[in-house]
A and B are shown apart, each in its own frame.
Chain A
Amino acid sequence: MIESEQVRQLAELMNEYGLSEILVSEGQSKLRLRRGVAGPVAVSWPAGAALPQTPGAVPAAQEASTAGASGEDDGLVPLRSPMVGTWYASPDPDSPPFVSVGSRVEPDTTVCIIEAMKVFNEIKAETSGTVERILVRNEQAVEFGQPLMLIRPG
């Protein structure tokens, strides 16, 4: 059983030693973490294994995303979370995501939902442009100020 704590520790190791990929096998379980530009991202799970239950279990990944993807020098504008909660890409589990990479957005476009205390808050893009990169995963815990996506203005 792969524990979320293990994922966190591996992500920290990667950051500490500047690794780009780690593959861990333990019995039937395999876990590969590969560093994307946005920081370490857990890539593969064996069929049937549960995703980490503890939200926010990868603080190192969040830090890496913040550090590597502040984006402002490439002209990209980060959309930062205005609240603490759980991030959802779609309005409900059966619908497609609000936006994906390449989507055109205006300031009032709803780009995601952040849920806190059973209230689902629609988050607006705040910028006109194109979604260049999405930095968080569905159902990930996000904190105040955390960059959620990068938008190329224009």
Chain B
Amino acid sequence: MFSRLLIANRGEIALRIIRACKELGIRTVCVYSEEDRDQPYLRLADQAVCIGPGPATESYLRIDRVIAAAEVANVDAIHPGYGFLAENAQFADACRDSKIEFVGPSAASMRLLGDKIAAKKLARQAKVPNIPWTEGPVEDDREAGAWAAKAGYPVMIKAAAGGGGRGIRMCHNQAALMHNLMAARAEAQAAFKDSSLYLEKVIEGARHVEVQVLGDRAGNVLHFYERDCSLQRRHQKLVEESPCPALNERAREEICKAAVRLARAAGYYSAGTIEFLVDRKGAFYLLEMNTRIQVEHPVTEMVTGRDLVQWQIRVAAGETLPFKQRDIRQRGVAIECRINAEDPAKDFRPCPGRIEEFRVPGGFGVRVDTHACAGLMVSPRYDSMIAKLIVHKPTRPEAIACMQRCLEEFHIAPIRTTIPILREIFSHTHFLKGEVDTGFVERTW
């Protein structure tokens, strides 16, 4: 097992990793930017190293500075968290070249799955259904128009090097498609240094269902069941739950097995998530695979009773998974709400500022993952998520009742947060009946 580990991240996931390490007896080193100097979670790490000024491009995204910090602090491993360098294959290579283990998959599988076109071709080989798509990059606009006309509108333009909801444009007709292709190429080039695009048919009224997988270096890949993340706004998730209320046992088994097939085909180890769309008829299609631990991992931890971050670290340290697929069970229902410093009444405008009052809910079946506290300055520079509120109860109605009372209890002032809209979601009939799709939030609010 590692003796020292560096956390190349900030905020709630940095705290999450510090906690996992402490329980494993691993000493922790946390990097920080000058703007994060006063973050209380840094005091829980054994050592903290300043790696740059506020802007992430000068600190958290600086591979050279993170590796330099890892070297001077003499660590055995680096955990990248999510976001920042978590899915940067070059960073994974740089760590391992410096004889520091990267807590995540191989750089090769990151590259393969990060190229969305290559990932879809791999899915076809692994008999994992893809969303109807152009079967390759779009070479010219006429070809794009011809495909879209045949497949039927609306269609999505997606960047091959994109992911995480970025580089996506929906087009309802030929004119919109032609107009957006040029802009999408420029955007992709600027954001991802790769202007390749492909088109997908839009699956209307679909649910977003993702499967958590975990693999070890001996080639064992297990799934930890699914999460339904259909409540989204502009491709950013607001609420996640497990199990998915719309899947029957057979559908659950098929989608989870498909996820494992894809992960195996990619030679994947560590934690990862395969995202699918499930249409109204119950058919599922691959969206993409994310080669990192995800924000919503606590939902799966609660229903399966397993510490995913600790398992990532154990796998990275060379341990093989000591359990089999049949040992992983779903128990009860877990739901997570992301609490963001955004004002839902003002188009979710970010609300940075100092938190003066912060009272978290508690009680039986409640888990709050947060780095925030009274006195904390929420910076406009970083992600606006300040807390994750997770509940776990034997049944969905009980979990919802628990979440409703937690959202009432949770008090954050004076900055505005997304708690009001979450309370509305949790009293909306469609959500209570489990009848939502990925367009629900944007249609309703």
Contacts and interface: CB of A to CB of B under 8 A. Distances in A.
A25 B359 CA distance: 48
Interface stretch (B48-56, B323-331, B367-375, B434-442): B48-56
Given A83-B65, A84-B65, A117-B64, A141 B51 contact: no
A55 interface: yes
Given A83-B65, A144-B65, A56 B50 contact: no
- Which has the most chain A C-beta neighbours within 10 Å: B34, B59, B72, B74? B72
A90 to B, nearest CB: 19
Contact count band on A: 10 to 19
Contact of A117 (B47, B59, B68, B74): B68
B67 interface: yes
Contacts of B48: 59
A59 B98 CA distance: 24
Q: Is the interface of A mostly helix, strand, loop or mixed?
A: loop
A144 B65 CA distance: 9
Contact count band on B: 10 to 19
Nearest to B98: A117
Interface string B34-58: 1000000000000111111100000
B379 to A, nearest CB: 17
Interface in B86-103: 98
A85 B72 contact: yes
Given A84-B65, A117-B64, A144-B59, 20 more contacts: A54-B73, A54-B74, A55-B72, A55-B74, A56-B49, A59-B48, A83-B65, A84-B51, A85-B68, A116-B65, A116-B71, A117-B71, A117-B98, A141-B72, A144-B34, A144-B50, A144-B51, A144-B52, A144-B65, A146-B50
The 6 closest A-B pairs by CB, nearest first: A116-B68, A141-B72, A84-B68, A143-B50, A144-B50, A84-B69
Interface of B: 34, 47-53, 59, 64-65, 67-69, 71-74, 98
Interface of A: 53-56, 59, 83-86, 116-117, 141-146
